[in-house]
Structure 1
Amino acid sequence: MRYLFIIAITLFSMQSIYAQYGYGRGYGGYGGYGRSRMGSMMGASQTPQGPTEEPPTAAEIAEERLPDYVAEFELDPFQTEVLRTYLEDYFNKVMGLQKDETKDAETMRKDFERMQNEFKADLKSILTEEEVEKLIAMDFSNSAVRKRKKNRDN
């Protein structure tokens, strides 16, 4: 049962990354977003859309989350750098899996579980079992980040 809970949290986290950073096909003119096809066919003016926002890199996501992890687990500088490396590697693998359109859903799920287990094994080199579970379950919604920051400042 605990294993299913961890998988559910992990899948929710992936969805959070999709929603927060716009991965997938919702941006950039896919699926009907952006300029109307009918308008462009009817001779509508071609105004520039402006710069499109690039999704953040794995390094940027790791850098954004690292201060919360350091504060929560009171990591020393060495542990912080090791965690940064683990996070970047993990997020690169997850993003690569998300972009791979050749795999079916079941294969992707199995690959993601394998990556998750490898990530947990890496984390156990610098954190306890309880801290690893807590790190995996941390919420990075805007409200949760604000709440943690407010608690640290008080």
Structure 2
Amino acid sequence: MNKTLFFFVIALILLSFNTVSAQYGYGNGYGYGGYGMGRNSMSQMSQPDTKPKEIPVEVTVGKIMEKLKPELNLDELQTIAIANVYTDIIKSQTAIMKDEKLSQQQKSDEIKALFEVNERKVNEYLNEEQRQKYKALKEERGKDKKDKKKKKKEDE
């Protein structure tokens, strides 16, 4: 009976040590860096925020205008007016994309309508020659997007 009690006490002690070390981390009872902070806790703490940062509207509009101004030979007044139109449309597009009440199809329809309005507003500030160049640029951009989609599908 004495040996059975001895083994029972030893087993109880070993189980209690295992439980204590499991609560505090790996091996040494204190984990890596403090109580209860094992490998998983440390790796989660050190990882940077993976949420993509939003690009400011002004930066996006600036890039668009860098391309349009020389291509369309815009004067300063046209540049400012068209930049304002693009600023408004990008803000509206962002608001539509963030609206959780709308379905994906509704968002798509509203953005298409927004781009049609945008094109009309931009064309109001352009002369006939600039309108033709603007139309050609839009068609070229559309072809580039289609080509990229085809390449993506072929690569997969």
Q: Normalized against structure 2, the TM-score is what?
A: 0.54
Task: Flag as ranges the 4+ runs of structure 1 deviating above 6 A.
Answer: none
Give the fraction of aligned pairs with identical amino acids, expressed as a percent: 11
Separation in 2 of the partners of 1:106 and 1:120? 21
Q: Which has the higher helix share?
A: 2
Gaps of 5+ in 1: 1-39, 142-154
Alignment size in residue pairs: 102
Q: Which has the higher contact order (CA 8 A, sep 6+)?
A: 1
- Partner SS, residue 54 of structure 1: coil
Is the Cα contact below 8 Å between 1:120 and 1:132 reproduced in 2? no
Q: What are the Cα deviations for residues 37-69 of structure 1, in whole angstroms up to 9, with x where unaligned? A: xxx986441225279662112221001221110
| Partner residue in 1 for 2:81 | 82
Gaps of 5+ in 2: 1-36, 145-156
Residues 60-75 of structure 1 correspond to what in structure 2 (within 5 A)? 60-75=59-74
| Partner residue in 2 for 1:49 | 48
The higher radius of gyration belongs to: 2
Give the RMSD, CA atoms, in angstroms.
Answer: 2.9
Q: 1:51 to 1:122 in 2, by over 3 A?
A: same
Q: 1:48 to 1:105 in 2, by over 3 A?
A: closer
Separation in 1 of the partners of 2:38 and 2:139? 48
